[in-house]
Amino acid sequence: QVQLQESGPGLVKPSETLSLTCAVSGYSISSGYYWGWIRQPPGKGLEWIGSIYHSGSTYYNPSLKSRVTISVDTSKNQFSLKLSSVTAADTAVYYCARRRLAFDIWGQGTMVTVSS
């Protein structure tokens, strides 16, 4: 059974970098598929942040591209998100997910608050 689990600080200061990791179990990232990050501000809708292929090819939301880096570590079977220069507008639940023809498996999500 494939499972994804997000981890990282729940509180980040403004102007700093948000860093999250998604650990994958039950499936080897090296075997293929795209992996992605999606976020949801409190009470609002879903926003796709970006995706990465197991080879390391990345695709980012144009509105966030200048601040986002997604990387993959196949040796640890995990992928990561870094979002720089955060503001209160980046406060959200952050989800990682696997993409086949759509995002079919999701992590439970982790709440990240940007506040001093």
Partner 1 sequence: IQLTQSPSFLSASVGDRVTITCRASQGISSYLAWYQQKPGKAPKLLIYAASTLQSGVPSRFSGSGSGTEFTLTISSLQPEDFATYYCQQLNSYTYSFGQGTKLEIK
Residues near partner 1 (CB under 8 A) are: 36, 38, 45-48, 51, 59-62, 95, 97, 99-104, 106-109
Q: Which is nearer to partner 1, 16 or 54 (CB)?
A: 54
Report, in Å, the least distance between residue 89 CB and partner 1: 17
- The three-class DSSP label of residue 90 is helix
Nearer to partner 1 (CB atom), residue 10 or residue 45: 45
Which residue, 11 or 46, has its beta carbon nearer to partner 1?
A: 46
Characterize the bridge pairing of strands 11-12 and 78-83. Answer: unpaired
CA gap 3, 108 in Å, rounded: 9
Sign, Cα dihedral of 112, 21, 35, 56:
positive
